Amino acid sequence: MCGIVAYIGSSNALPVLLDGLRRLEYRGYDSAGVALLQSGRIDVRKAVGRIANLAEEIEKNPVSGQIGISHTRWATHGAVTRENAHPHSDRSGRLHLVHNGVIENYQTLREQLIERGHEFHSQTDTEVLAHLVGEAFEQSATQDKGSLVEAVRSALRQVIGTYGISVVHADVPGVIVGARRGSPLVLGIGKDEHFLASDVSAIVAHTRDVVYLNDYEIVALQAEGFEISTVSGGGAGFQISRVEFDASSVDKGKYPHYMLKEIHEQPNTVRDAMRGRLSLEEATAKLGGLNMTNSELRAVDRIVLAGCGTAFHSAMTGEYIIESLSHIPVECEFASEFRYRNIPLQRDTLAFVISQSGETADTLAALRESQRKGHRTLGICNNVASTIARESDGGVYMHAGPEIGVAATKSFTSQLTIFTLLGLLLGRIRHLSHSEGRDMIAQMEKLPDLVARTIELESQVAAIAKKYAQAKNFLFMGRQAHYPIALEGALKLKEISYISASGYPSAELKHGVIALITEDTPSLFIAPRDAVFEKNISNIEEVKARKGPVIAIGTEGDTALKKICDDVILIPDAPHYLSPILSVIPLQLLAYYIAVELGCDVDKPRNLAKSVTVE
């Protein structure tokens, strides 16, 4: 949540900051602001709302400088007001700070600062941090780069919580100080210029050479170089990484929204998730990133999958896939609850944490709690340099490319593809024969084309979306692995269209859900031709008997659904372990086109942010 961009160099900082903020707007868009240092003073501009509002404010009141920090906010402490927008200053007004994270003990610190004569002008925890840094700087013997770094270090030793920060001071021109704990911060390296950002997508147009800061690290940036140390005062090593994608990867291209672009990218992203990981000779999957031998994998007696939101739905689907292919018991846990429960985990339990960004605060906490209890814990994420990727004991990289749309789409199908690879690998170690493994590989190699064929249903789904866009409530139902797909379909609709939607196992219809059936409440059934198809038909009949409209997702060639449903979307036939990847795509498209029909801001839904880096 929240996005930070900072620049120091010989160019005008403002275009860099505004462009970076636009690329980070998916992280928060309640308010935005910039602070630029020039001629011994810092000029600040803020605006409530989107980055466009900030740009308009700057056009009315121009500002420039070669050193600057900026921020786009997702509100945590304090309402959405100009006073609560970042950057925030200390009591001197000469230090300014932007912050992503939550200072948990800010109220206690605020009261202590007020007793020492400080006055506050916002309700944010960030302003407290700015005052702490400013006070420490005032008390320093010198007013230079070293004293500003020490002031930041002193303040951070007093706070409890998470932070990614960037600080400038008018009395220390030519320096930006950044630090992180629990909130991502990346250093961009250019020629006589340097950058800080919450995500590389904000700076990849200017440099692809980056350093991903670790927790408790502080960086002092100058145009000509940088120094990294720790909050405890020691030095810190670093590794320069090369970003795999370029600026074009984070543009919308020909599409009106990132979400639609990312839906259309799924034939390639599922292909990339499998690339180099299928061995026809050995009839299995090759996942070297797990850092486990076949003997170690065979010793696993239980698997725990932890994630939040869409990642939790992928874990639930993964449970069905892995259990059916490997016969290993799988359990799903909300990452947000994992560390607060005393879960009895037996010795030979293997844990996976799932996060597109690799920075989700709750999922990272679950990773650390699992490791604290001595369990091997692996990550499934889309950012190879993320905190989860670096701290986990191994894992699988999704290779999905940047996902900018707040509503996750391609990351979900990539995660399901990875769970299928895991199921194949673990199944071959246990009971799947060589010929069964080869058959699975042959089916998986067809998957990108099946996904492309499913996306070709777009115009049909768009017409159905138009028909039902005014509905106030939706019910989504599916059985077995398609139950979590129903949950995901309901979540997508809620996220971007704000329509109340719920997902249920189809068989639960008679156990209370049927009371919700009305002529104005569409029910969407995921009912491919599988072992429970006839059961789904019976449930659909129960809804139709009560005059409820039904949309069904079935299998190509099916005629039974068309006889009883109001609208039918037929997806390509596929094995049970691949069918969920196909059935979710019409649900993504349905949510998208309903949101468009209602005039909703698809890529920036209200109250949401892409990467949840605060608890």
How remote is the C-alpha of 220 from its chain's centroid? 28
Query: How long a stretch of residues is the chain?
Result: 615
2 is an active site residue: yes
Annotated active-site residue 494? The verdict is no
Q: What share of the chain is helix, strand, coil (3-state, %, to 5)?
A: 40, 20, 40
| Choice among 261, 494, 604, 610 that is catalytic | 610
Per-residue tokens: 585: 């795509």
Reading the block at residue 562, the tokens are 């068309």
Joined together, the tokens standing for residue 401 give 């490319």
CA 430 to the chain's CA centroid: 34
Q: Are 582 and 267 contacting, i.e. CB atoms less than 8 angstroms apart?
A: no
Whole-angstrom Cα distance, residue 105 to residue 388?
25
Amino acid letter for position 353: V
Query: What span, in angstroms and rounded, lies between the C-alpha atoms of 297 and 328?
Result: 11
User: Closest Cα to residue 362, out of 336, 401, 391?
Assistant: 336
The 10 Å CB-count burial string (b at 16+, else e) for 169-198 is: bbebbebbbbbbbbbbbbbbbbeebbbbbb
CB–CB of 43/17 below 8 Å?
no
Main-chain phi, psi angles of 351, to 5 degrees = -110, 145
DSSP character string of 297-344? HHT--EEEEEE-THHHHHHHHHHHHHHHHH---EEEEEHHHHTTS---
Q: Which of 2, 332, 565, 600 is catalytic?
A: 2
Take residue 234 and report the two structure tokens written for it.
Answer: 């020691």
Listed in order, strand segments (DSSP E) in 18-153 are 31-38, 41-48, 67-73, 88-89, 95-100
Category of 56 on φ-ψ map: left (φ > 0), alpha (ψ -120 to 50) or beta? alpha
The Cα–Cα gap between 115 and 66 comes to: 37
The C-alpha atoms of residue 90 and residue 162 are separated, in whole angstroms, by 20
User: Which residues carry out catalysis?
Assistant: 2, 610
